[in-house]
Structure 1
Amino acid sequence: MYKDWPQYTKDLSGAMQDCRKGIPETWGAFSKLAAAATTDGAIDPKTKELIAIGIAIAMRCDGCVAFHVRTAVRHGATREEILETIGMSVYMGGGPSSVYGAMTLEAYDQFVAAQEEKK
């Protein structure tokens, strides 16, 4: 296992909370942007999360992978949808995206397992 992704989101959330307290106006504006961008519209929230995952892989952002995979799972994304998203990311981003794609699949499997444990 590369990383415990559910734990990583918890740890990173704490660090982000400290930052949010230090720059509340900036962080608040970012939160409003996130809410507006992820609202159901012409593109449903699950598809928007898959797009965000593709960008996270291409940008090589561990935290972005973690948070957007977690949210995609909550919106019902399937393993096959994650794999196709990884495929597009590798196509667009080459070798580095293949590494982040593998990490993304690991994150997906862990978040699904964690969700199943809660049932």
Structure 2
Amino acid sequence: MVMDWNQYHKEIGARVGDLAKLSPDTVKGYQTLSAANSKTSKLGEKTRQLISLAVAVTTRCDGCIVFHTDAALKAGATREEIAEALGVAVSMNAGAALIYSSRVLDAVEAKSAAHA
């Protein structure tokens, strides 16, 4: 195992609690935004959590991973469904790298012309 996710879950929860004491409006704002998405039933909790896991991977957020893994499992997501959502995250990251590679080539052309 890469890390003790259960212990990390406790620790990150405590640290977010510390932030809530120092900056309660920031945490309240986050909670309001987060709760806004759960008020509709169009996607359902399991789908929302699978999307959250894919986004957590693409944003490289360990705290998001631990919280949304717990929530996805509680919502009934299977390991196979989670793996499929992660596959989407992998393909999106590869696609984004491909698209942004064209931006690098564009910058190379512009900078090469400036150095000529």
User: TM-score higher than 0.5 here?
Assistant: yes
Aligned length: 94
Name the residue aligned to 1:62.
Answer: 62
Greater RCO (CA < 8 Å, at least 6 residues apart): 1
Between the two proteins, what is the percent identity of the paired residues?
Answer: 39
Retained in 2: the 8 A contact 1:39–1:45?
no
Runs of 4+ displaced beyond 4 Å = none
- AA paired with 1:77? A
TM-score (normalised: structure 1):
0.75
Cα deviation, 1:46-80, whole Å, max 9, x if unaligned, reads: 10010010000011111111111110011110011
Query: Which deviates more, 28-37 or 71-80?
Result: 28-37
TM-score (normalised: structure 2):
0.77
Instruction: Give 3-state SS (helix, strand or coil) of 1:11's partner.
Output: helix
Task: Say what the alpha-carbon RMSD is for the aligned residues.
Answer: 1.0
Which one has a bigger Cα radius of gyration?
2
- AA paired with 1:90? V
Q: Give how far 1:39 is off.
A: 3.0
Gaps of 5+ in 2: 95-116
Name the residue aligned to 1:32.
Answer: 32
